[in-house]
Amino acid sequence: MESHQGHPLGATGLAQCAELTWQLRGWANNRLVNCDVALQHNLGLGGAVVINVYKRADGKGNRKLSDEEVVKASAFDYNPAVKAKTPSRADVDKVRSRAARSEYALGDSLKKLEARL
């Protein structure tokens, strides 16, 4: 799978990380590839390279999950592997640290996301 989202070690790398995780979890139900292990290889400017190998912690292979099963198994009310959705403030709060929150660090990220989607 090839993906280009911007800077190879930044946006593209995160997109690859998400896709491989979704594949191994079985969330990518509309494009699922049968696999037990996933490899991420990223080459950036100046020869910077990132290589990651992914495997499920339980040692199992992936299996296709329905969108309803993904919702039950996650903190989302939709399947993020098949649907792009602007996160609400409540969605953001679900994944932010409870012990080390900083409104300053969050800044205007939500406004920027809404403007792009």
* pLDDT digit string, tens, across residues 44-93: 778 888 899 999 999 999 999 999 999 999 888 899 999 988 777 787 78
Distances (CA, A) of 52 to 38, 49, 71, 80, 111: 8, 10, 27, 22, 32
CA nearest 114: which of 84, 93, 94? 84
Domain boundaries, the chain: 1-80, 86-117
CA nearest 66: which of 86, 87, 85, 82? 82
What does pTM read for this prediction?
Answer: 0.74
